[in-house]
Amino acid sequence: MNLHSIFRAVLVLTAAGALSACMVGPHYAKPPVTTPAAYKETGNWKIAKPGDAVNRGPWWEIFGDAQLNTLAQQVDVSNQNVRVAEAKLRQAEALVEQSRAGLFPTLTGNTSATRSRTPSVSGASTTSSAPSNVYNLSLNASWAPDLWGSVRSTIDANVANAQASAATVAGVRLLAQSQLAINFFQLRVLDSQRQLLETTVGAYQKSLELTRNRYTAGVAARAEVVLAETQLRSTQAQLIDVGVLRAQLEHAIAILIGKTPAEFSLAAAPLTVAIPVIPVGLPSELLERRPDIAAAERQMAAANAQIGVAQAAYFPSLTLTGVVGFRANSPPTWLTSPSRLWSVGPALAETLFDGGSRRAVKKQAEAAYDANVATYRQTVLNGFKEVEDNLSALRILEEEAVAQNEAVKSARLATELTLNQYKAGTVTYLAVVILQATQLNNEATAVKLLGQQLVAAVTLVQALGGGWNGLSASAASR
Q: Is the dihedral of CA 141, 146, 150, 151 positive or negative?
A: positive
Provide the pLDDT for residue 468. 58
Provide the pLDDT for residue 459. 93
Stated pTM of the model: 0.81
Q: Is pLDDT at 10 greater than 80 in this prediction?
A: no
CA distances from 78 to 177, 256, 355, 380 (A): 12, 8, 53, 30
Provide the pLDDT for residue 472. 35
pLDDT tens sequence across 181-228: 999 999 999 999 999 999 999 999 999 999 999 899 888 889 999 999
Q: Is pLDDT at 359 greater than 60 in this prediction?
A: yes
Provide the pLDDT for residue 219. 86
Instruction: Give the confidence band of 471 by pLDDT, cuts at 50, 70, 90.
Output: very low
Put the strands of the sheet holding 106-116 in their side by side order. Answer: 106-116, 132-143, 317-328, 340-349
Q: Where are the alpha helices (DSSP H) in 101-221?
A: 150-216
Contact 50, 281 (CB under 8 A): yes
Q: Is the dihedral of CA 335, 336, 339, 343 positive or negative?
A: positive
The whole-angstrom separation of Cα 243 and Cα 190 is: 8
Contact 290, 460 (CB under 8 A): no
Provide the pLDDT for residue 447. 93
Mean pLDDT, residues 343-356 taken together: 90
Provide the pLDDT for residue 177. 94
User: What CATH fold (topology level) applies to the domain 27-112+145-318+356-463?
Assistant: Outer membrane efflux proteins (OEP) (1.20.1600)
Count of beta carbons in the 10 Å neighbourhood of residue 154 = 23
Provide the pLDDT for residue 382. 92
Sketch the domain layout of the chain as residue ranges: 27-112+145-318+356-463
Tell me 39's DSSP state: -
Q: Is pLDDT at 15 greater than 60 in this prediction?
A: no
Contact 344, 322 (CB under 8 A): yes
Contact 116, 122 (CB under 8 A): no
Provide the pLDDT for residue 268. 93
Provide the pLDDT for residue 124. 55
Torsion angles phi and psi, residue 423, rounded to 5: -60, -35
